Amino acid sequence: MYTLTYTIKQKMQKDTTSENLPLAEIAYRAIREEILNNQFKAGEQVLEKALVERFGISRTPVREACVRLEKEGLIEIKPRHGIRVKPISVEDMAEIYDILTALESEAARILAEKQLTEEDYKSLAAPTEAMEQALENDQLEAWAEADEAFHLALVNLTGNQRLKQVVLQFWGQAHRVRYFTLHLRPKPTGSTQDHIDLVNAIKAGNANLAAEIHRNHRIKGKHTLLNLLETYRFVQL
């Protein structure tokens, strides 16, 4: 059984400490990870000086990183007051899921129409197996990391960099909310089965079925999340 030992989070941590990356890229990845993992809370205001001291990076690359993060919708730059982490509302999440549903379903269609290699199929199947293993061990964080690895492989394999860029932008905005509600939702066994069915449809070259499976998967995920937010009366996170 495959074990997911190199998660997206670990990759970000590895890249953040790499001496080969520009300082602005290091700052961007470090600040972004703190936001996505709720180290910087929604609505929190952080001074530029605090960011410089926290990450040991000078002001110019920190400013460049913040400009990128603002474009991605994760923060708001407050002149002379640093940054403010932008909350995600219920309405934001509904719109984000609609975008992800459309684009990732198209990614599934593209893969079913492509000639994928065995290595390509492994990059989809391995996280799915890791999701199953994580659920068997009641390790929801590991399940979520494997789920992200699957979705990343899905868009990566299309070869469409613009599609990938847009998906990851909105994915980042949704990440914080998904992790916050991870232990509030029912055990996601159905989500794992959806991924298995999707891989089988892609292998069979059935583009319409692959797109439909993934569209329904994302729609179910949207309804589950929005119902949780409504049940617990979370206005924004």
| Arithmetic mean of pLDDT, 6-24 | 56
Calculate the average pLDDT of the chain. 90
Read off the tokens for 200.
Answer: 């089988």
Q: How far apart are CA 154 and CA 208, in angstroms?
A: 16
pLDDT band at 19, cuts 50/70/90? low
Domain of 40 in residue numbering reads as: 8-85
The per-residue pLDDT for 13 is 47
Please write the tens of the pLDDT for every residue from 102-149. 999 999 999 999 999 999 999 999 999 999 999 999 999 999 999 999
CA distances to 3, 148, 217 from 197, in Å: 20, 17, 10
Residue 58 and residue 161 in one domain: no
Which CATH number goes with the domain that contains 176? 1.20.120.530
pLDDT above 70 as % of the chain: 92
DSSP string, 152-177: HHHHHTT--HHHHHHHHHHHHHHHHH
Helices (H) and strands (E) counted in the chain, each on its own, are 10, 3
The per-residue pLDDT for 18 is 52
Q: How far apart are CA 77 and CA 224, in angstroms?
A: 32
User: Residue 215: inside a domain, yes or no?
Assistant: yes
Residue 23 and residue 118 in one domain: no
Q: How far apart are CA 177 and CA 181, in angstroms?
A: 6
Q: Angle at the Cα of 30 (from 27 to 34), degrees rounded to 5?
A: 135
User: Residue 164: inside a domain, yes or no?
Assistant: yes
Angle at which helices 23-36 and 161-180 cross, to 10°: 40
Residue 135 and residue 201 in one domain: yes
Structurally, the chain folds into a number of domains equal to: 2
